[in-house]
Amino acid sequence: MDKLIIRGGNRLSGTIPISGAKNAALTLIPCALLTEEPLTLRNLPRLADIDGFQHLMNQFGVTTVIQGTRPEDFGRVMSLEATRITSNVAPYDLVRKMRASILVLGPMLARSGEATVSMPGGCAIGNRPIDLHLKALEAFGAKIELAAGYVRAIQPDGGMPGGDFDFPVVSVGATENALMAAVLANGTSRLFNAAREPEIVDLCNMLVAMGAEIEGIGTSNLTIHGVKRLHGATYRVMPDRIEAGSYACAAAITGGEVRLEGAKADDMMATIHALQAIGCDVTWDAKSITVGANGALKATNLTTAPYPGLATDMQAQLMALLCKAEGASVLKETIFENRFMHVPELARMGADITTEGRTAIVKGVDRLTGAEVMATDLRASMSLVIAALAAEGETTVRRLYHLDRGYERLEEKLQLVGADIERVDD
């Protein structure tokens, strides 16, 4: 198993290309199930989760062809064709490692009339039930059965009529599943209090490119007029706002300046405002964001919230940055109840952090020191890398499979801007 060796102290400077968004790509791939025509996705990141989802699609009889396989390339092009679906079962062995696998439920139900999906896995960051996914599908007319760790969704005779569903709490995944199920319903469906993250907008835009009829894109109220069929399309995956925010924190904690090529400021204003509150200089144009930190970092208070609030996926990275800020910061996590697992590992590097429930108090320290640390989930892994870049001495980060799920060739990108980081066999 690989590990990262990071020798801290180098000031990061230069340009990092931002990859296609993992969270968007994992929603766009299952859309191939909605049509028998080819769907081509461009700017697809090279990630373990993408490979896992590709294997899941192959399980259903979807043929996949990947271009851009040269090792020096960032991103790939994948063409998917579901001419004939040969299975509507997503088995445990393929689903258990990746929570996003539940996103095949809606499109498979819409296309095949039924779908059986194992309960999903993924990062252990708290209780993430799928009840809202199922309730939305029931509102559209589906029958739901639960047995032996599997979910089975079945259309009524004559197909799903569509319907209305009001989310009691905002849910990104449930909104995505509901959208994909509704586009082929017989009637009109309406979603109230829907998630409006940029990745939801990306999904809506691609579905429209495939022939779907969706109103209210970018708002919390979506109206979907079901159509008889969708056609193929070629679509470019949006840039990864979480990856961009992560590298912004890495630049800032080293007192450096990095241009994030391809990042879209409009998608990550909450992160930009957080960085500015911490004392970072942030500028942007239509093609990139530049983040620098020349002076002392400042303590601030941050709270995660559904979009357009601060993304929960940025909490760990910003916590690492605040470990070097002057004063005490308060971070409140409102989305997941178990997302401070990186705190003990940061403490091994000299961080001063106390937690109580979903609140963390971070007291800035003069120095962090290298240590052996272990990744606990995807974003927690990145927080350890960020801290290590500013730490004195050498840090070893283990359990890199978490990082490989969400950051395309991380060590290579950091090497581009001067980081002393390498991946070695453990």
pLDDT of residue 69: 61
267 is in an annotated binding site: no
The 10 Å CB-count burial string (b at 16+, else e) for 267-301 is bbebbbebbeebbbebebeeebbbbbbeeebbbbe
> Identity (one letter) of the amino acid at 86?
T
Q: Domain boundary at 236, 267, 295, which?
A: 236
Q: Are residues 336 and 222 in the same domain?
A: no
Question: What confidence category does residue 71 fall into, taking pLDDT thresholds of 50, 70 and 90?
Answer: low
Structural domain ending residue among the three candidates 204, 236, 268:
236
Query: Is residue 158 classed as helix, strand or coil in its secondary structure?
Result: coil
| Whether 326 and 178 share a structural domain | no
Could you give the angle at which helices 241-253 and 315-322 cross, rounded to 10 degrees?
Answer: 10
Give me the domain span that covers residue 407. 2-18+239-425
How many structural domains comprise the chain?
2
Residue 122 has pLDDT above 70, yes or no: no
- Give the C-alpha separation, 159 to 184, whole Å: 9
- Please count the other Cβ atoms lying within 10 Å of the Cβ belonging to residue 357: 9
- Whether 191 and 117 map to the same domain: the answer is yes
Q: Which two tokens stand for residue 112?
A: 């095949």
Q: In whole angstroms, give the CA distance from residue 386 to residue 364.
A: 15
**Average pLDDT of the chain, as a whole number:** 94
pLDDT for position 127: 42
Active site includes 123? yes
Are 159 and 245 contained in the same domain? no
From CA 314, how far away is CA 307, in angstroms rounded?
A: 12
Please report, for the domain that includes residue 405, its CATH number.
3.65.10.10
128 is in an annotated binding site: yes
Q: Over range 193-211, report the average pLDDT.
A: 98
pLDDT of residue 371: 98
Interatomic CA distance for residues 71 and 292, integer angstroms: 30
Do 225 and 245 lie in a common domain? Answer: no
Boundary-marking domain end, from 212, 236, 260:
236
298 appears as a binding residue in the annotation: no
Of 31, 123, 249, 323, the catalytic one is: 123
Annotation-wise, does 23 bind a ligand? yes
| 45-55: pLDDT as tens digits | 999 899 999 99
